[in-house]
């Protein structure tokens, strides 16, 4: 009966361990108490004590031996122990006898706690001594991280105080200029007075005494009045970035002087409002960090007491409570101050709206999304079966219209197939990112609670596949007599065009339907890619541009759409004016180059901004790909041994270049001095073989260009357009694999730098650090 009870206790603790891990800020994971390792140490103590008990049980003899000389000596020492007196209570003696640990704080430059274990001479004493040493290390790590973050919060709060000062002055200047000119304006109370009070209390707590810092009284007096003179010391720091503003920044200063316009006021309010929201989120996460770690120390000490039958948790948890982790309330005071200022200055005093904006409810999965995803998936499978049965029943693969259909109609529908496959790969990426706690929402910069989960992406994928497969099923009439199908021929041939119109209408629909926030985020990223390098390059922008490089055939099919329905005879499925035309081929070549050229421009923009010097090499990588695409296109059009050699050599160089960059720079692999041979020091996936398999697959799929150089354009059982679609699908799959490892590397970089929040640009900058 002992084993089931032990299993139950272990199961309960395992549940807490999982809950503890799920509540962590992913990028701060290394800064949390290592609960699992301490639990392993406690298990080692339990095993050691059981072994000691088993040894003592086996060495037990019915007739105990005579006491040895050593035992008499121990007894003699105990008889000569100090006499404590008859008046001392038994409870005091019992407390001292039960005392297991002594915890002391050695405060030199920072808090540092050490525990003295008083029972090291007993059984399992060495293992318990190691446990407390590791426990102290974990607690000091948590304390150092927490105090450092609190200091950062204080500095950021001071900066927000200056920013809110300038915003109030700008509001008065813009909204009531006549009043400003007639009367020197001073406010009776400073707008961020509560934030200032919280900052002062935080600093006093950090100094460890009740006296304020020198000069704080003067600071309070100055902050009780706000003058419009503060605008003389600040400039507009961040304006909405447009291609026009980017061009101005190239030829002029990046900082603009005040014009005291309502547009400037709106932009400043928007930026500062977002900064307050992000700052409040940081404070909430830091407060959660403190609470979770206190709870974890409490749980691990209770587990220790149960295993060892000691009473050490009381002393240790008392120390935790008295430390800055338990006693510090700076974060709570800053949160209250931020909420008060936010409600007053950004929500017109409406407390409920302000709290709703600051404290967003966590996103919950909706059952209807799962239901409709399953329905659309079932409909898609049914339509696929119906199409296969129709093709076999009518023997369409052997009909005379097979080539005509595959050349003219199949490319029209393959666009949607490429989109569905890309969505499916992205849904798979999201599933595994969530499973391995990759904070993709933060990396991409989605607004809180607006990111789509894999269920929503699957819903969109299967919904689009149902529309596409239904249109394909209605369009499979290539072996039916044309005269008998004249009435319905025009309608069926216009189905692909109608489907494109429907998809584009949904994508650009301004109404709040079908994930409007995400649609506009996607459109914005695509627009930034089109306008490169006139916009500042962020991760979502170049990530989207990388996706576009894998969808070259989709853009070529869109080109065919325009030509087929604009100049071709779609009623007869004729596209002779498109295929083989020199103008059409030249445009097709330009379309294939554009995605790589966009990435090259993005790399150059990042290089000129001084973000990363390696972007120069990255731009050369995309230039080599452009050269390879041009050489292969010329070889396909004109043939010849010389062009074949040029196409093969340039494609080989580009493949080696791109593969090396994927594995080393984007994935962070192939490192000789790593803890994991040829991999990163830290890995998210449990099996290292998956990384090596991904490398091999990436190299193989990168060699798809070989079929062009070897003139392998059509297989006996596969039409040329179907082969092109297959190769494009393999490239999309390769891109999907690349996506996972690329974001894994980005996430691990954020974890290494404890970067869990995005930096919001502030609207004002102070000249020479002046503060009025």
With beta carbons less than 8 A apart as the criterion, state whether 353 and 347 touch: yes
Tokens of 497: 């065009």
- What are the start-end ranges of the H helices in 531-665? 539-549, 552-566, 582-608, 615-638, 641-660
Its sign, for the CA torsion 658, 661, 663, 667, is: negative
Q: Helix (H, G, I), strand (E, B), or coil: what is residue 408?
A: helix
Tokens of 182: 């007639």
668 in any annotated domain: yes
pLDDT on residue 483: 53
133 in any annotated domain: no
Cβ density class 301-330: b for 16+ within 10 Å, e for less: bebbbebbebebbeebbebbeebbbbebbb
177 and 267 together in one domain: yes
Helices and strands (H, E) in the chain, number of each type: 30, 4
Report whether pLDDT(117) > 50.
yes
| Mean pLDDT confidence for 399-419 | 88
The pLDDT tens digits for 248-259 are 666 665 445 566
Nearest Cα neighbor of 146 from 339, 286, 295, 285 is 286
With beta carbons less than 8 A apart as the criterion, state whether 258 and 169 touch: no
Sorted by sequence, the CB contacts under 8 Å of residue 477 that are 6+ apart come out as 485, 488, 489, 492
310 in any annotated domain: no
Distance (Å) of CA 161 to CA 198, 331, 762 = 11, 16, 12
Segment of 111-125, 346-360, 713-727 carrying the highest mean pLDDT:
346-360
Task: Report which secondary-structure segment, H or E, holds 113.
Answer: strand 113-117
Angle at 544 between CA 601 and CA 505, to 5 degrees: 120
454 and 519 together in one domain: yes
Which neighbouring-strand residues pair with 103? 115
Length in residues, the chain: 772
Report whether pLDDT(268) > 70.
yes
225 and 336 together in one domain: yes
pLDDT band of residue 59 (cuts 50, 70, 90) is low
Sorted by sequence, the CB contacts under 8 Å of residue 303 that are 6+ apart come out as 13, 39, 42
pLDDT on residue 673: 81
The pLDDT tens digits for 70-110 are 443 333 433 333 334 444 444 444 444 456 667 665 554 45
Angle at 104 between CA 101 and CA 108, to 5 degrees: 155
Torsion of CA 379, 380, 382, 385, to 10 degrees: 170
pLDDT band of residue 218 (cuts 50, 70, 90) is very low
Quick one: what percent of the chain has pLDDT higher than 90? 40
Task: Report which secondary-structure segment, H or E, holds 483.
Answer: none
Report whether pLDDT(357) > 80.
yes
351 and 456 together in one domain: no
415 and 276 together in one domain: no
454 and 598 together in one domain: yes
Give the Cα separation of 764 and 231 in Å (integer): 10
Report whether pLDDT(769) > 60.
no
54 in any annotated domain: no
Rounded mean pLDDT of the chain? 80
| Mean pLDDT confidence for 453-476 | 93
With beta carbons less than 8 A apart as the criterion, state whether 304 and 131 touch: yes
pLDDT on residue 484: 47
Task: Report which secondary-structure segment, H or E, holds 766.
Answer: strand 764-766
What is the distance between the terminal CA atoms of the chain, rounded to a whole angstrom? 73
pLDDT on residue 10: 45
Report whether pLDDT(29) > 70.
yes
* Lowest mean per-residue pLDDT among 119-123, 481-485, 656-660, 725-729: 481-485
pLDDT on residue 587: 92
115 in any annotated domain: no
pLDDT band of residue 69 (cuts 50, 70, 90) is very low
632 in any annotated domain: yes
pLDDT band of residue 528 (cuts 50, 70, 90) is very high
Nearest Cα neighbor of 146 from 359, 397, 328 is 328
Angle at 91 between CA 87 and CA 93, to 5 degrees: 75
Quick one: what percent of the chain has pLDDT higher than 70? 77
Its sign, for the CA torsion 545, 549, 554, 556, is: positive
Segment of 270-274, 422-426, 473-477, 673-677 carrying the highest mean pLDDT:
422-426
- Residues of the domain holding 240: 150-286+332-358
Nearest Cα neighbor of 533 from 275, 291, 249 is 249
The pLDDT tens digits for 548-594 are 999 999 999 999 999 999 887 787 778 778 877 888 989 999 999 99
pLDDT on residue 193: 55
With beta carbons less than 8 A apart as the criterion, state whether 432 and 384 touch: no
Angle at 428 between CA 422 and CA 430, to 5 degrees: 105
280 and 407 together in one domain: no
Report whether pLDDT(220) > 50.
no
Query: What one-character DSSP code corresponds to residue 495?
Result: H
276 and 348 together in one domain: yes
Angle at 356 between CA 350 and CA 359, to 5 degrees: 130
354 and 458 together in one domain: no
Tokens of 756: 């869990």
Sorted by sequence, the CB contacts under 8 Å of residue 635 that are 6+ apart come out as 643, 644, 646, 647, 708, 709
465 and 345 together in one domain: no
With beta carbons less than 8 A apart as the criterion, state whether 727 and 707 touch: yes
Distance (Å) of CA 595 to CA 456, 550, 625, 697 = 27, 9, 11, 23
Largest CA distance in the chain: 120
* Lowest mean per-residue pLDDT among 223-237, 543-557, 593-607: 223-237
The pLDDT tens digits for 177-194 are 655 554 444 443 444 555
Residue that has been written with the tokens 């199409």 in this structure: 387
pLDDT on residue 202: 52
pLDDT band of residue 407 (cuts 50, 70, 90) is confident
5 in any annotated domain: no
pLDDT band of residue 432 (cuts 50, 70, 90) is very high
543 and 670 together in one domain: yes
Report whether pLDDT(494) > 90.
no
| Mean pLDDT confidence for 689-708 | 90
29 in any annotated domain: no
With beta carbons less than 8 A apart as the criterion, state whether 443 and 750 touch: yes
* Lowest mean per-residue pLDDT among 385-394, 520-529, 545-554, 759-768: 759-768
Angle at 653 between CA 650 and CA 659, to 5 degrees: 135
Give the Cα separation of 480 and 547 in Å (integer): 40
Distance of CA 766 to the CA centre of its chain: 32
pLDDT on residue 243: 73
pLDDT on residue 215: 36
pLDDT band of residue 454 (cuts 50, 70, 90) is very high
The pLDDT tens digits for 649-697 are 999 999 999 999 999 999 988 888 888 888 988 899 999 999 999 999 9
Give the Cα separation of 687 and 681 in Å (integer): 14
Of 501 and 579, the structure prediction assigns the larger pLDDT to 501
348 and 415 together in one domain: no
Report whether pLDDT(711) > 80.
no
How many domains are contained in the chain? 2
């Amino acid at each position: 009966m002992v084993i089931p009870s032990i299993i139950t206790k272990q199961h309960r603790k395992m549940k807490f361990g999982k809950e503890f891990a799920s509540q962590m800020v992913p990028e701060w994971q290394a800064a949390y108490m290592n609960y699992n390792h301490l639990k392993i140490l406690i298990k080692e103590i339990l095993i050691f004590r059981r072994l000691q008990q088993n040894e003592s049980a086996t060495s037990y003899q019915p007739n105990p031996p005579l006491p040895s000389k050593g035992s008499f000596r121990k007894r003699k020492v105990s008889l000569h122990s100090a006499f404590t007196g008859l008046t001392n209570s038994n409870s005091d003696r019992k407390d001292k006898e039960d005392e297991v640990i002594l915890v002391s704080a050695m405060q030199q430059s920072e808090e540092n706690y050490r525990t003295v274990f008083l029972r090291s001479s007993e059984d399992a004493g060495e293992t318990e001594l190691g446990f407390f040493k590791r426990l102290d290390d974990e607690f000091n790590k948590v304390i150092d991280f927490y105090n450092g973050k609190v200091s950062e919060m204080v500095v950021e709060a001071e900066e927000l105080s200056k920013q809110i000062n300038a915003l109030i002055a700008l509001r008065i200047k813009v909204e009531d200029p006549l009043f400003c000119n007639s009367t020197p304006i001073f406010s009776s109370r400073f707008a961020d007075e509560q934030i200032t009070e919280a900052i002062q209390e935080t600093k006093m707590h950090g100094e460890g005494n009740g006296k304020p810092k020198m000069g704080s009284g003067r600071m309070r007096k100055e902050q009780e009045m706000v003058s419009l003179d503060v605008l003389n010391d600040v400039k507009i720091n961040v304006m909405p970035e447009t291609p026009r503003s980017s061009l101005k920044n190239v030829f002029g200063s990046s900082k603009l002087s005040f014009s005291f316009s309502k547009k400037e006021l709106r932009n400043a309010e928007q930026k500062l409002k977002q900064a307050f929201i992000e700052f409040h989120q940081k404070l909430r996460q830091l407060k959660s960090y403190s609470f979770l770690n206190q709870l974890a120390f409490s749980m691990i000490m209770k587990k220790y007491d149960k295993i060892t039958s000691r009473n050490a948790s009381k002393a240790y948890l008392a120390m935790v409570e008295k430390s800055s982790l338990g006693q510090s309330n700076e974060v709570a005071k800053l949160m209250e101050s931020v909420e008060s200022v936010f409600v007053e200055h950004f929500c017109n005093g409406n407390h409920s709206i302000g709290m709703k904006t600051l404290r967003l409810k966590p996103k919950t999965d909706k059952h209807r999304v799962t239901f409709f995803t399953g329905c659309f998936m079932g409909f898609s499978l049914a339509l696929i079966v119906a199409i296969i049965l129709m093709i076999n029943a009518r023997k369409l693969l052997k009909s005379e219209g097979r080539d005509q259909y595959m050349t003219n109609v199949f490319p029209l529908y393959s666009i949607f197939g490429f989109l569905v496959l890309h969505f499916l790969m992205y849904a798979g990426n999201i599933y595994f990112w969530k499973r391995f706690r990759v904070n993709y929402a933060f990396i991409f910069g989605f607004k809180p609670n607006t990111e789509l989960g894999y269920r929503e992406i699957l819903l969109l994928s299967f919904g689009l596949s149902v529309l596409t497969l239904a249109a394909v099923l209605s369009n499979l009439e290539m072996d039916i007599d044309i005269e008998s199908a004249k009435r319905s021929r025009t309608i069926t041939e216009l189905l692909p065009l109608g489907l494109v119109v429907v998809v584009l209408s949904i994508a650009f629909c301004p109404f709040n339907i079908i994930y409007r926030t995400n649609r506009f985020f996607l459109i914005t990223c695509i627009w930034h890619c089109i306008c490169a390098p006139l916009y500042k390059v962020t991760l979502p922008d170049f990530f989207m541009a990388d996706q576009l490089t894998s969808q070259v055939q989709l853009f070529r099919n869109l080109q065919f759409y325009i030509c087929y329905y604009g100049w071709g005879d779609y009623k007869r499925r004729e596209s002779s004016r498109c295929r083989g035309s020199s103008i059409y081929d030249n445009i097709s070549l330009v379309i294939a180059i554009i995605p790589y050229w966009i990435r090259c421009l993005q790399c150059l923009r990042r290089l000129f901004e001084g973000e990363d010097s390696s972007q120069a090499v990255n731009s050369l990588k995309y230039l080599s790909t452009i050269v390879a695409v041009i050489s292969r296109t010329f070889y396909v059009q004109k043939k010849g041994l010389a062009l074949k050699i040029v196409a093969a050599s340039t494609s080989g160089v580009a493949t080696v270049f791109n593969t090396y960059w994927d594995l080393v720079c984007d994935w962070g692999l192939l490192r000789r001095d790593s803890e994991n041979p040829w991999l990163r020091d830290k890995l998210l996936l449990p099996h290292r073989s998956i990384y090596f398999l991904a490398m091999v697959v990436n190299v193989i799929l990168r060699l798809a260009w070989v079929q062009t150089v070897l003139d392998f354009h059509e297989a006996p059982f596969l039409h040329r357009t179907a082969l092109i679609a297959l190769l494009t699908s393999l490239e999309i799959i390769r891109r999907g694999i690349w996506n996972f490892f690329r974001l894994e590397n980005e996430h691990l970089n954020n974890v290494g730098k404890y970067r869990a929040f995005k930096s919001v640009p502030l609207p004002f900058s102070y000249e020479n650090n002046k503060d009025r």
